[in-house]
Amino acid sequence: MSRERVISLSEVRTQCQKCSLYQLCMPMGLGDGDLNKLDKIIKRRRPVEKGEFLFRLDQDFSSLYAIRSGSLKTYTSQSDGQEQVIGMHLPGELIGLDAIGSQRHACSAVALETTSVCEIPFDHLETLSREIPGLQQHLFRLMSAEIQHDQCHMTVLARMPVENRLASFLIGLSERYKLRGYAANEFNLSMSRGDIANMLGMAMETISRLLGSFQDQGLIQVERKHIRILDPAGLQAIASNCRELPGKPADSSSSHSA
Amino acid sequence: MSRERVISLSEVRTQCQKCSLYQLCMPMGLGDGDLNKLDKIIKRRRPVEKGEFLFRLDQDFSSLYAIRSGSLKTYTSQSDGQEQVIGMHLPGELIGLDAIGSQRHACSAVALETTSVCEIPFDHLETLSREIPGLQQHLFRLMSAEIQHDQCHMTVLARMPVENRLASFLIGLSERYKLRGYAANEFNLSMSRGDIANMLGMAMETISRLLGSFQDQGLIQVERKHIRILDPAGLQAIASNCRELPGKPADSSSSHSA
DNA sequence: CTTTTCTTTTGATCCAGATCAAGACCTGGA
DNA sequence: TCCAGGTCTTGATCTGGATCAAAAGAAAAG
């Protein structure tokens, strides 16, 4: 399944190790042997082109996907046909966690640009995580972090006025980019204004106006999809969201969607 | 820690088994031996009285809690002091999952009435779930279900007008009560109007008005905290929320908070 | 039983942000 | 190079639900 062509052991061994993101999507502190095992179950697949689906709502669940490059959005379709964007996902993040329980995808994942992912068959991962304690622990923590993140997003949606929501979104994005080694204060939005608005529970026009207003206030600089954060502290102050719990010990790595 | 007094083996063995809810909070299909092991790590503790905290925001995480009877609400406090109610939790549900990642509670849990819980030290549970495959799988599924539920709630908050939110909440409650063997169409709200409003991102006055209007429409009958659903289908139609994914195979048990 | 306090209901007003409308700007295809 | 079909911005209006205000029930306390 995972490895058809014949390759040297050292080549196998380095697949995950050479990925600059493996500490994010997968556990820290695994020995070479463990990493090797992990590597063996991962399927690499051709990149997903912009607009293509990685998986679709209601499809049978079999794998988690770790994003290596590019980005995707996930969304559900309401019974009335309306779409609801759930999240935007960056390199180093793991998607599909919500489908484990029902064994069926609860949302669709579509690439926002050319995106490459590692496919991780979940039954193999489950087996492996029984053998590798650190892996099991990491998975629990990842899922927990996702729960915490979603609860934070619920809070944002329930209480905050639109300004705060958008600031919160931008700060969140910035932090996630930083975590993965990209520039924290300068990045490209891969989602359209419409998608961002949808995700934050507001109208596209409002996003447009707010970006303009943030720019006028000297908080950010916008040029189409390109965002530069000029005043992170000021933006943070507007966001004033669920403070990122520093997390006590170890990882604190993960954080999902926006 | 968990068992100071001397008791017979058969007594130990039945603690979880005799609990009518163990299939919900803990895995189905465990043998007696496994159930016994599980039982050994669970601490019973005196009931939490109404208004008492089970745990508080920022407190160190050590255990999950399975609710045996009663109910709790969980909520976070914003930096501005505002509370945001995250969920209401019923017997058979497991709370604390959001704290695994950061090792610190991301919300406070307070009893809405006298409530008894089983405390499950998470490090023991983690160890045990390496030994018992079914347990590990169950935990993954529970956490996944929680993620899915939270995403559903995000959708409700982001898109739906107030009518739909409340209908959705009532239907959700009804389903959860049914799942645990209580009457599906007649129950008591243990949260105040204010808490419900807060959780659904609206004003208390709106809840009040909507309950009245639902009653006028003959959908429900309200008497203070007591709710009777007269027209489940009609209410469902208004809710029109993320259809409960039937889940493919096995469990489909869990579903968390409202 | 009476008083105090908390919760809920009901009514009147107001406003944040949606919706509607139209124009400007990209981007890609022929 | 030009055209067609997005995507984004900007302005004007409208409205769902919040907020304000006050009364009416419950429940708890004295």
pLDDT in tens, A38-52: 788 888 888 899 999
Are the Cβ atoms of B136 and A130 closer than 8 angstroms? Answer: yes
User: Which of A229, A98, A86 is CA-nearest to residue A171?
Assistant: A229
Nucleotide nearest to A165 (CA to C1'): C17
Query: Is residue A255 predicted with pLDDT exceeding 50?
Result: no
- CA–C1' span, A84 to D17, in Å? 22
Give me the pLDDT at residue B10, please. Answer: 45
Identify all chain B residues contacting A252, using CB atoms and an 8 Å cutoff. 101-102
- Whether B162 sits with its Cβ under 7 A from any strand C atom: the answer reads no
Give me the pLDDT at residue B43, please. Answer: 86
Mean pLDDT of B51-73: 94
- CA–C1' span, B97 to C18, in Å? 36
Top-confidence residue, B6 or B183: B183
Tens of pLDDT, residue by residue over A140-184, are 999 999 999 999 999 999 989 999 999 999 999 999 999 888 899
Give me the pLDDT at residue B131, please. Answer: 87
Query: Is residue B247 predicted with pLDDT exceeding 80?
Result: no
Q: How far apart are CA B162 and CA A232, in angstroms?
A: 34
| DSSP strand pairing (A186-188 vs A220-223) | unpaired
Nucleotide nearest to B195 (CA to C1'): C7
Are the Cβ atoms of A148 and B98 closer than 8 angstroms? Answer: yes
Query: Is residue B13 predicted with pLDDT exceeding 80?
Result: no
Are the Cβ atoms of B84 and A136 closer than 8 angstroms? Answer: no
Q: Where are the alpha helices (DSSP H) in chain A?
A: 9-17, 22-25, 32-41, 122-131, 133-159, 162-179, 193-199, 204-216, 232-239
The amino acid sitting at A196 is: I
- Other residues' Cβ atoms within 10 Å of the Cβ of residue B223: 8
What is the nearest CA distance from A138 to chain B, expressed in angstroms? 8
Top-confidence residue, B77 or A105: A105
Give me the pLDDT at residue A43, please. Answer: 85
Query: Is residue A244 predicted with pLDDT exceeding 80?
Result: no
